[in-house]
Amino acid sequence: MFEAARSKEGSLDRNKYKFSDFGGVVILPVAKGDDALVSVIALLYKAVQDAVNDKIKMFKTVFEDLSFTLGSLQLLVEEDNEKAQHDISDQIPNEKLEIFRKKLQDGVELVRKSSNLSCWYAYKKYNYKKKLVSLEKSLQTLVDILRRQTMRELGRTWTTVENKETMVQEMTYWNTVPEPPSFTVGLDVPLMEVKTKLLEDSMSVHVLTGPGGCGKTTLATKVCQDPEVIEKFRQNIFFLTFAKRPTLSLILQQLNAHKGRRIPNFEDEVSALTWLRTFLKEEGQNPLLLILDDVWYGSESLLEEFIIDGEKEISNYKILVTSRSELPRFGSQYHLNLLNDQDAMTLFRNSAFLGDKSSYVLEDLSREILKHCKGLPLAIVVVGRSLCGKPIEIWQETLLKWSRGSSLLDSETDLLFTLQSSLDDLGKENYILQECFIDLASFPEDQAIHVPALIDIWAELYTLDEDVTCFANLYKLTTRNLVNLVVRRKVEEGYYSEHFVTQHDMLRSLAIHQTRYDLIGQSKRLNINIRGDDLPKWWTEQKEKPKKTRLLSISTDEAFSTKWPIMQLPKAEVLILNFQTKNYVLPKFIENMHKSLKVLIVTNYGSLPAELSNFHLLGSLSKLKRIRLHRVSVPSITKKPTNLKSLQNISFFMCNISQAFSKGAIPILHALPNLVEMNIDYCNALVELQEDICYLVHLKKLSVTNCHKLSALPQGIGKLFNLEVLRLRSCTDLVELPGSIGNLKKLNLLDISHCFSIKELPEEIGELGNLRLLNMRDCSRVQELPESFLKLKELREVICDKYTIALWEPFLPSLESIAIRVVKEEINLNWLQKLG
């Protein structure tokens, strides 16, 4: 669009431009400026135009943005005017002017290299685009500086403009809401629901949230154009873009220009805030709607300045915020869902300009392609456009590359850039948070990830507090819409066995893409996916060099049967093994990790527990602190000499552990001398807990939950004198608690919720002098509590249901410090679908 406005000689023809052509730049004589700066701007503009004219596909959008910004900049600095000769040097100190000049000079070379970048260098595409966008932002900064000078010139000459009405009309470009795409799908229901909130809900702030590329801004523009919204708010609708690093001054300039007013020059933050409050109160006398678009995490304090509570005269003031992050303290949250299959196909056909074209080959290819887009509108659009007009063979080749491990993000840099920006926004100060996000790619596709497994990994890799900080990181990723947190049943604070994480496959691809920035052999993570016995060539080569990876994940399918090759991993701290076979042999190369491995996670994604062998190899791992086993039959830990002297935490999920603690060649305390936590969950074959467990005298936490066939606890459980937490939740066949439980003097939490078969509690339970939390919800057969409960002076909270609460009424006058909490439980079983 900029090239068409040049004269035949190649110089700019100013008469062909209007106020709105370049983002609202006023065409006034500003300055010729610094000759060297003007010269390098011209040189950079030519390089960009050459790239645009070459129709380079890879960075088409960013080159067009550069061309647009450079056009704005040239218009501001080309005009020769003596009065404004020194505006640039007045506005920009010499040292900063030199930085601008250097950036522009480097930009010329950057544009040329980007133009010549081969499409095969997928790993370089994002870095180049990031640098190009950074260059465009630097140029925009210069434009903003000169624009503000222009606005001040406009203010000084305001009274001398003969036709003020014409000037105001030319400034009304601010008053237009961005046009939504000409074609949209899947937004009818969200539009109705968001509109209803704005028109009827009493809340003043509503947040429209979702991952990048899901259509939030598009939906917001459609809201502004809805007839009912227009009728309600008339012309009092303002669409303001926050973006990543907003400033109050620039946003208020947008807001003020909406009304065609002269833009004020705010001296400080206080004057800007005063102006904003006055503006909102004046405009709020009539129904007022603010659309605050693209609000990023970290801008909450600025967003708060637009909220006015308790003002009766602006009771019809509504704010609609769009953000990639959840902003829970700002009113209601509306999550924009991804497209269903039908809408996804409709959008793809439109983006690929298929029109009435129809053939079974084309339809089959389209469906396969859409499986990789996973309902994300931006992905569908960019893929559709990239395949538009291409022969069937190109479509087939694209799918073939994806099937061999290539990613959609490798070829579509616009999509990569949009998704990557969400990760970049975490900032360098949240480096560990970025690492946590990338770790999610180490788990199989389309499978829910058990949160305790993540806690095990993060606690060791990043030396985090295993409960508080690890879950806090997960919560932060959830609020940024980078993961989805599914809570099957909320039991108590700080207990996460009922928590699972799911992730959109496009975000998983983003996490995988991050691992490609590491140097070969020096990556922090190594994820190996094996189909059948097809091992990576680098692994089967005889001269295998040691790898410096800290996290190794190996996934195999049901056809895997080969023997494990040797692998040298002297620095591996975490090993994740995922498989689907009936029998699984732990790889012998585990012994090579004896000085480094801290976490072992073994997960069977088959339908039945698999036999696990080579368990004795773990005895050589002197640093191993955590073992987590999912859906496996665990052999006897004491049958062979297996001294896990460093092991502190062992967890069994959906396992068969009937043989795990049976008497063997060595005492269990010798095999697990320093174990402090044991978790047994959904192990349905467990009928009785072996007496040997009572010799684990260092045990502090014992959780035996959802083991429905467990009928009895070992009578010697009182020997676990260091036990602080005992969870027996949902052990529905458990008949009684042993009397020796009274010896657990350090016990502060006891959970017997959903133990339907317990009829009475032992008198000795009153000896638990340190007990602070008791969960006995749905213990429906208990008819009376022992009088010894009056001794529980440290008890602070009891969780009951509407039936068991009556049992506590006689005790309340004597136990005044107790808080009785009645909880109505909601159970979510959707997580089971992703666990095999």
Average pLDDT for 91-111: 71
The C-alpha atoms of residue 256 and residue 262 are separated, in whole angstroms, by 8
Instruction: Look up the pTM and report it.
Output: 0.72
CATH of the domain at 396: 1.10.8
Residue 602 has pLDDT above 50, yes or no: yes
The CA distances from residue 66 to 51, 458, 478, 564, 636, in Å, are: 11, 41, 34, 52, 66
Does the residue 814 lie in any domain? no
At 19 the pLDDT is 28
Comparing 719 with 101, which gets the higher pLDDT?
Answer: 719
Verify that 192 and 125 share a domain, yes or no.
Answer: no
Domain boundary among 138, 160, 182: 160
Backbone φ, ψ for residue 475 (5° rounding): -65, -40
Verify that 443 and 320 share a domain, yes or no.
Answer: no
At 207 the pLDDT is 93
Verify that 349 and 441 share a domain, yes or no.
Answer: no
CATH of the domain at 493: 1.10.10
- Nearest residue to 474 via CA among 489, 338, 466, 603: 466
Vertex 408 angle, CA 406 and 414, to 5°: 135
Contacts of 393 (CB under 8 A, 6+ apart): none
Verify that 364 and 440 share a domain, yes or no.
Answer: no
Question: Residue 505 burial (CB < 10 Å; 0-12/13-18/19+)?
Answer: middle
User: What sign has the CA pseudo-torsion 752, 755, 760, 762?
Assistant: negative
Average pLDDT for 701-730: 94
Range of the domain at 376: 341-415
Contacts of 141 (CB under 8 A, 6+ apart): none
Backbone φ, ψ for residue 636 (5° rounding): -60, 125
DSSP 505-536: HHHHHHHHHHGGGSPTT--SEEEEEEBTTB--
Dihedral angle over CA of 412, 417, 422, 424, nearest 10: 130
Verify that 331 and 346 share a domain, yes or no.
Answer: no
How do residues 335-376 score in pLDDT, each as one tens digit? 998 899 999 999 998 888 877 666 778 888 999 888 888 888
Does the residue 593 lie in any domain? no
- Nearest residue to 92 via CA among 25, 171, 146: 146
Percentage of the chain exceeding pLDDT 70 = 78
In the chain, what's the furthest Cα-to-Cα distance? 102
Token code pair at residue 803: 């039936």
At 83 the pLDDT is 38
Asked if 488 contacts 828 with a C-beta cutoff of 8 angstroms, the reply is yes
Contacts of 235 (CB under 8 A, 6+ apart): 175
Asked if 37 contacts 100 with a C-beta cutoff of 8 angstroms, the reply is yes
At 191 the pLDDT is 93
The C-alpha atoms of residue 357 and residue 499 are separated, in whole angstroms, by 46
In what side-by-side order are the strands of the sheet with 583-585? 583-585, 610-613, 632-633
Comparing 383 with 173, which gets the higher pLDDT?
Answer: 383
Domain boundary among 381, 415, 449: 415
At 585 the pLDDT is 92
Average pLDDT for 426-448: 84
Does the residue 710 lie in any domain? no
Q: Residue count of the chain, please give it.
A: 836
Does the residue 525 lie in any domain? no
Does the residue 277 lie in any domain? yes
DSSP 527-595: EEEEBTTB--HHHHSSSPPP---SEEEEEE-TT--PPPPP---TT--EEEEEE--SEEEPPGGGGGGTT
- With residue 237 as reference, give the H or E element that holds it: strand 237-243
Asked if 693 contacts 716 with a C-beta cutoff of 8 angstroms, the reply is no
Does the residue 112 lie in any domain? yes
How do residues 777-836 score in pLDDT, each as one tens digit? 989 899 889 999 989 989 999 998 888 888 888 888 888 788 888 877 655 555 444 443
Rounded to a whole number of angstroms, the distance between the first and last alpha carbons of the chain is 54
Residue 707 has pLDDT above 70, yes or no: yes
Verify that 65 and 10 share a domain, yes or no.
Answer: yes
How do residues 252-266 score in pLDDT, each as one tens digit? 777 766 655 565 667
How do residues 636-672 score in pLDDT, each as one tens digit? 887 776 678 899 999 999 999 888 777 766 778 888 8
Verify that 285 and 410 share a domain, yes or no.
Answer: no
Verify that 127 and 214 share a domain, yes or no.
Answer: no
Token code pair at residue 129: 């685009």
**Can you state the percent helix, strand and coil of the chain, rounding each to 5?**
40, 15, 45
Verify that 490 and 446 share a domain, yes or no.
Answer: yes
Backbone φ, ψ for residue 12 (5° rounding): -70, 135
Does the residue 758 lie in any domain? no
DSSP state, residue 183: -
Verify that 189 and 328 share a domain, yes or no.
Answer: yes
| Count: domains in the chain | 4
Domain boundary among 511, 528, 555: 511
At 387 the pLDDT is 86
Verify that 329 and 355 share a domain, yes or no.
Answer: no
Residue 212 has pLDDT above 60, yes or no: yes
Vertex 331 angle, CA 327 and 334, to 5°: 70
Asked if 346 contacts 370 with a C-beta cutoff of 8 angstroms, the reply is no
DSSP 697-758: TT--EEEEES-TT--B--GGGGG-TT--EEE-TT-TT-----GGGGG-TT--EEE-TT-TT-
CATH of the domain at 298: 3.40.50.300
- With residue 123 as reference, give the H or E element that holds it: helix 122-156
Asked if 663 contacts 688 with a C-beta cutoff of 8 angstroms, the reply is no
How do residues 671-703 score in pLDDT, each as one tens digit? 889 999 999 999 988 998 888 899 999 999 999
- With residue 151 as reference, give the H or E element that holds it: helix 122-156
Asked if 413 contacts 114 with a C-beta cutoff of 8 angstroms, the reply is no
Comparing 706 with 31, which gets the higher pLDDT?
Answer: 706
Asked if 460 contacts 599 with a C-beta cutoff of 8 angstroms, the reply is yes
Q: Where are the alpha helices (DSSP H) in 584-633?
A: none
Backbone φ, ψ for residue 193 (5° rounding): -70, -40
Average pLDDT for 589-610: 90
DSSP state, residue 440: G
Model confidence band, residue 282 (pLDDT cutoffs 50, 70, 90): confident
In the 3-class helix/strand/coil scheme, how is 26-47 assigned residue by residue? Answer: CCCCCCCCCHHHHHHHHHHHHH
The C-alpha atoms of residue 279 and residue 273 are separated, in whole angstroms, by 10
Verify that 201 and 277 share a domain, yes or no.
Answer: yes
Does the residue 486 lie in any domain? yes
